[in-house]
């Protein structure tokens, strides 16, 4: 199995961190590894060349200050270049002064246009807009029906050809496109999302067709939908679509797999337009604006703390969480709190994907596939305890354990493991409480090296694995400058 | 409230819970391992491993089916599966549309460092992967020295021969046992073209006189069953489908039973696209594979569908899917685009899984047998 890009960078930079000074040879070695890592991540050959060249120029050039830690500087340079390549800032969607605002979706077969169209419609609804979907894929059997089913789930109307025309497979998508604006005006819809058939970038006839669809709808945004697993060909595809349609942005799909998404870097570099959205799961709400700085941070193994905060804000009940946090820091956290907070964490999404966002997460844990159904087992065990036991697990003796294990349908060792783990968590929390108290003394440490950066860098927080998961060592939990 | 506090709570909970899950899993694995060890060590109590039991049951089931089918209906006229109708397009016709990556150094008079760099670039651009590309080049360098090769032409000839050799020696025919309810299972990540491939293959197999049942095992994607239904209509195959969100194993088993009852000899079973990283979905797929080989089903092919645009992730996909379902072959789709599909080199050399079919276009006739010689030649044609 390939190492993930961030694991790989972890390895490189571990070597660099130990050094006080960086020789040209060091830079060469780092660059060779970076090149290899990027190529294995499917970043296009030409793009890699450019990127590595730029990093070299800055790393060996005058930018490097002798007084500062050279490793941190190289990391910073790589990070900045990745962000720059990925598109700098998050796209800001604006709307036509005279509605509707038309969005055209284009891409290869199977990149995920239909699903993404529905996800986008849902997103626009969340922004307080009133979207309509247009089924202009009359080629793939049942594509319109797929769109209708998905649209139904997000409660958005679909405009397409008459049913019998759709069923015949002979319908004219350009005609559908021509009719959709009037329909949107009639229904008072202010955003129109046009789903088109998948097509090969080298199919002149179909590229002409999508150009005509574009002409008929004059879209404000034309998005190319790109599969995160795409290889070197992403560049050719992007070039050809850009030539025919003048893209305004890219939507990256299937980012929830283990593909390292090098295609994102490539496409951005070639088209020069930002990656606007990213889709990270099969559910219709697994979709959001793309944050290039966050992906760059993730690639560099810095975690994705900002996305995590966003998710937490949505999922947590503020007062409840605050109370829990207070108890937690005082070491008063009970199994009952644990149960409640776990429910909140579950709302944030799949446990495994959350873990991937944690900065400095140990590899063994980050790559661990976690089945959320296993959480039910934990809940089952806690539910099988009396309130008294939940508040004070110390009273749980052998016979209580037996009863709990029977109630939850697990064996006693599992109950033991949970209690042990919970004890360790409590220790960790107390440690954190102490860390929070010490914060005042350390002053503005967090700001000193921060200089307006949006992601934590260099000294990202390091968390070690809870000991029971690896060996038998003492729990260690170092808190960064908070 | 400070978001930092939220994160800390979440973090502790996630780490704690994950730690628990990891430990219990490790322990469970250890216990299982221990159990296996004990069962193999204990001399007095020879236990039969599950696989063996299953295999025995399977064999008995197969025999029962074989005799049952004899009495129901004679199997349709046998046609060699590999034979392609003459109308089918060749690789060369199709691939010539694509830009020729390797054309640059044909006809060069000398082999120098630039030649090697360009060669490496070309191989990487074709998605062979850095590792396989470097290995190939190292090997070639050796041959160039030994055989004293001089020109670019000679180099390309040797390269072609090497690439062909790496793809050679695999049985690429699709297995279809007489008198059985053959099941061909289609697996792969989302959007690679599983349903379309089944549609095309169904047309081809009915055209060759087989009686085909299509099982709409993709119950997740909206309207996947309708899509397959359209193909079933076009090809004269029978469609078995269930409710959206239903259990794919049950639907596929229904299709197999229905096929057996009607004496159909081939079930083409669709499954929902899934990322190989989703363990619960891969478990579901394992179950589908198990259930499909229950009497009267007889799984003779598990075909992994891979999109030619797929990059290095394709190898990981192939590894995970074959671990779950014992993949017997690869279908490489969308090769009529500009993508080269070089990942199949790694898939065959690392996992020994051959490409069996290739998708070269949208019509039913555009699904053809894979030919490694033509595939490699086409990469070099200007």
For residue range A46-74, what is the model confidence (pLDDT) as tens digits?
888 988 888 888 777 645 555 556 666 77
Which domains are assigned to chain A?
A: 3-86 (1.20.120.140), 101-309 (3.40.50.300), 317-479 (1.10.260.30)
Weakest-pLDDT range from A136-150, A211-225, A418-432, B250-264: A418-432
List the structure tokens of B146.
Answer: 């030994």
CA neighbor of A232 nearest in space, from B65, B343, B267: B343
Alpha helices, DSSP H, located in chain B: 3-41, 50-72, 91-95, 113-125, 130-147, 152-167, 194-207, 224-235, 248-262, 279-292, 313-325, 343-351, 372-380
CA neighbor of B162 nearest in space, from B195, B127, B123, B197: B123
* Predicted pLDDT at A297: 66
ipTM higher than threshold 0.90: no
Residues in A closer than 8 angstroms to B126, CB to CB, are: 232
* Predicted pLDDT at B193: 93
- Tally A–B CB contacts below 8 A: 257
Weakest-pLDDT range from A12-16, A338-342, A445-449, B323-327: A445-449
List the structure tokens of A31.
Answer: 């660059």
Indicate yes or no: CB of A421 within 8 angstroms of CB of B16: yes
Comparison of pLDDT for A257 and A419, the residue scoring more: A419
Comparison of pLDDT for A17 and B249, the residue scoring more: B249
Residue B192, number of CB atoms within 10 A of its CB = 30
Is-contact A158 A200, C-beta < 8 A? no
Cβ contacts of residue B185 below 8 Å, gap of 6+? Answer: B252, B269, B271, B288, B289, B292, B299, B301, B302, B303, B325
Distances (CA, A) of A339 to A295, A335, A380, A470: 31, 6, 10, 24
**Taking chain B (382 residues) in consecutive chunks of 10 residues, what is each chunk's mean pLDDT?**
51 63 60 52 43 49 44 40 44 50 58 84 89 91 89 85 88 91 96 94 94 95 91 94 91 96 95 90 94 93 95 93 96 89 91 94 88 81 48
List the structure tokens of A230.
Answer: 């795409």
Q: Which of A137-141, A148-152, B159-163 has the highest mean pLDDT?
A: A148-152
Is-contact B19 A468, C-beta < 8 A? yes
Comparison of pLDDT for B269 and A80, the residue scoring more: B269
Comparison of pLDDT for A227 and A449, the residue scoring more: A227
Q: Residue A469's pLDDT band (boundaries 50, 70, 90)?
A: very low
Long-range contacts of A382-387 (CB under 8 A, 24+ apart): A382/A335, A382/A336, A382/A338, A382/A339, A382/A418, A383/A339, A383/A407, A383/A408, A384/A408, A385/A335, A387/A336
**Cα–Cα dist A336/A35, whole Å:** 49
Residues in A closer than 8 angstroms to B16, CB to CB, are: 421-422, 424-425, 428, 466
Comparison of pLDDT for A305 and B149, the residue scoring more: B149
* Predicted pLDDT at B331: 97
Selected residues 31-60 of chain B with any CB under 8 Å from a CB in chain A: none
* Predicted pLDDT at A34: 81
Beta bridge partners of A159: A134
Q: Which of A58-67, A87-96, A103-112 has the highest mean pLDDT?
A: A103-112
CA neighbor of A145 nearest in space, from A132, A155, A154, A158: A158
pLDDT, one tens digit per residue, over A338-390 is: 888 777 777 777 776 677 666 555 555 655 666 667 778 888 888 899 988 98
B221 touches chain A (CB under 8 A): yes
Residues in B closer than 8 angstroms to A169, CB to CB, are: 230
Indicate yes or no: CB of A413 within 8 angstroms of CB of B3: no
> Nearest C-alpha of chain B: how many angstroms from A447?
15
Cβ contacts of residue B290 below 8 Å, gap of 6+? Answer: B249
Selected residues 128-157 of chain B with any CB under 8 Å from a CB in chain A: 129-131
* Predicted pLDDT at A456: 36
* Predicted pLDDT at A100: 93
**Is residue A441 scored above 80 in pLDDT?**
no
Note the Cα B345 to chain centre separation in Å: 13
- With pLDDT > 70 as the criterion, what percentage of chain A qualifies? 71
Residues in A closer than 8 angstroms to B24, CB to CB, are: 414, 417
Indicate yes or no: CB of A231 within 8 angstroms of CB of B7: no
Indicate yes or no: CB of A237 within 8 angstroms of CB of B338: yes
Maximum alpha-carbon separation in chain B: 76
């Amino acid at each position: 199995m390939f190492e993930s890009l961030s694991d790989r960078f972890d390895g490189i930079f571990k070597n660099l961190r130990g050094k006080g000074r960086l020789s040209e040879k060091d830079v060469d070695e780092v660059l060779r590894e970076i090149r290899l890592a990027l190529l294995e991540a499917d970043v296009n050959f030409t793009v890699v060349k450019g990127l590595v060249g730029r990093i070299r120029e800055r790393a060996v050039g005058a930018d490097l200050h002798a007084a500062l830690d050279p490793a941190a500087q190289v990391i910073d340079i790589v990070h900045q270049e990745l962000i720059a390549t990925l598109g700098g800032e998050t796209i800001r969607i604006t709307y036509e002064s005279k509605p509707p605002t038309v969005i055209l979706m284009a891409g290869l077969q199977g990149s995920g246009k239909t699903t993404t169209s529905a996800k986008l419609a849902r997103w626009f609804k969340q922004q307080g807009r009133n979207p309509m979907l247009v089924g202009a894929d009359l080629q793939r059997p049942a594509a319109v029906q797929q769109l209708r089913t998905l649209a139904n789930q997000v409660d958005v109307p679909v405009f397409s050809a008459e049913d019998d025309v759709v069923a015949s497979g002979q319908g004219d998508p350009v005609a559908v496109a021509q009719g959709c604006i009037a329909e949107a005006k009639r229904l008072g819809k202010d955003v129109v999302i046009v789903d088109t058939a998948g097509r090969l970038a080298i199919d002149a006839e179909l590229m002409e067709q999508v150009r005509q669809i574009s002409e008929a709808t004059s879209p404000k945004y034309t998005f190319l939908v790109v599969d995160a697993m795409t290889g070197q060909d992403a560049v050719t595809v992007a070039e050809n679509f850009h030539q025919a349609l003048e893209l305004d942005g890219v939507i990256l799909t299937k980012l929830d797999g283990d593909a390292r998404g090098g295609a994102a870097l490539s496409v951005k570099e070639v088209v020069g337009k930002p990656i606007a959205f990213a889709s990270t799961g099969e559910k219709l709400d697994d979709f959001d604006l793309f944050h290039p700085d966050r992906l760059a941070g993730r690639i560099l193994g810095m975690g994705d703390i900002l996305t995590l905060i966003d998710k937490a804000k949505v999922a947590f009940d503020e007062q409840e969480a605050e109370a829990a946090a207070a108890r937690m820091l005082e070491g008063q956290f009970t199994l009952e709190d644990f149960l409640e907070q776990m429910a909140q964490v579950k709302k944030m999404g799949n446990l495994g994907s959350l873990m991937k966002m944690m900065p400095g997460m140990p590899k063994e844990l980050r790559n661990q596939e976690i089945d959320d159904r296993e959480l039910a087992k934990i809940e089952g065990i806690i539910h099988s305890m009396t309130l008294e036991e939940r508040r004070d697990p110390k009273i749980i003796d052998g016979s209580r354990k037996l009863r709990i294990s029977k109630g939850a349908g697990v064996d006693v060792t599992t109950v033991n493991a949970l209690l042990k783990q919970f004890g360790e968590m409590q220790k960790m929390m107390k440690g954190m409480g102490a860390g929070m108290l010490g914060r005042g003394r350390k002053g503005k440490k967090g700001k000193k090296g921060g200089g307006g950066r949006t992601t934590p860098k260099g000294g990202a927080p390091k968390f070690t694995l809870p000991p029971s998961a690896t060996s038998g060592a003492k729990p260690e939990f170092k808190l960064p400058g908070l | 409230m400070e978001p930092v506090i939220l994160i800390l709570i979440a973090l502790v909970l996630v780490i704690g819970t994950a730690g628990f899950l990891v430990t219990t899993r490790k322990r469970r694995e250890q216990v299982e391992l221990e159990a296996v060890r004990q069962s193999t060590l204990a001399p007095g109590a020879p236990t039969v491993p599950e696989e063996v039991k299953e295999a025995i049951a399977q064999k008995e089931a197969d025999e029962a089916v074989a005799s049952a089918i004899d009495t129901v209906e004679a199997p349709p006229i046998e046609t060699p599966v590999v034979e392609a109708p003459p109308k089918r397009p060749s690789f060369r016709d199709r691939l010539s549309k694509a830009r020729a990556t390797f054309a640059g150094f044909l006809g060069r008079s000398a082999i120098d460092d630039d030649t090697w760099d360009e060669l490496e670039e070309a191989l990487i651009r074709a998605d062979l992967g850095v590792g396989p590309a470097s290995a190939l080049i190292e090997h070639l360098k050796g041959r160039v020295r030994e055989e004293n090769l001089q020109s670019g032409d000679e180099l390309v000839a040797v390269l072609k021969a090497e690439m062909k050799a790496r793809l050679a020696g695999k049985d690429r025919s699709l297995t279809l046992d007489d008198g059985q309810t053959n099941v061909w299972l289609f697996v792969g990540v989302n959007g690679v073209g599983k349903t379309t491939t089944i549609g095309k293959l169904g047309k081809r197999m009915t055209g060759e006189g087989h009686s085909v049942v299509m099982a709409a095992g993709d119950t997740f994607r909206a309207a996947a069953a309708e899509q397959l239904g359209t193909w079933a209509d076009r090809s004269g195959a029978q469609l078995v489908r269930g409710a959206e969100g239903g259990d794919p194993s049950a639907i596929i088993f229904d299709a197999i039973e229905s096929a057996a009852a009607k004496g159909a000899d081939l079930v083409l079973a669709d499954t929902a696209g899934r990322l190989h990283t989703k363990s619960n979905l891969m478990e579901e797929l394992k179950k589908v594979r198990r259930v499909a080989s229950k009497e009267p089903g007889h799984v003779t092919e598990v075909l992994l569908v891979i999109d030619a645009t797929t990059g290095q992730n394709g190898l990981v996909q192939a590894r995970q899917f074959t671990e779950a379902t014992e993949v017997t072959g690869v279908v490489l789709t969308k090769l009529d685009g500009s993508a080269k599909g070089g990942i199949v080199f790694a898939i065959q050399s690392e996992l020994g899984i051959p490409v069996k079919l290739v998708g070269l276009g949208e019509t039913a006739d555009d699904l053809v047998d894979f030919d490694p010689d033509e595939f490699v030649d086409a990469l070099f044609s200007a």
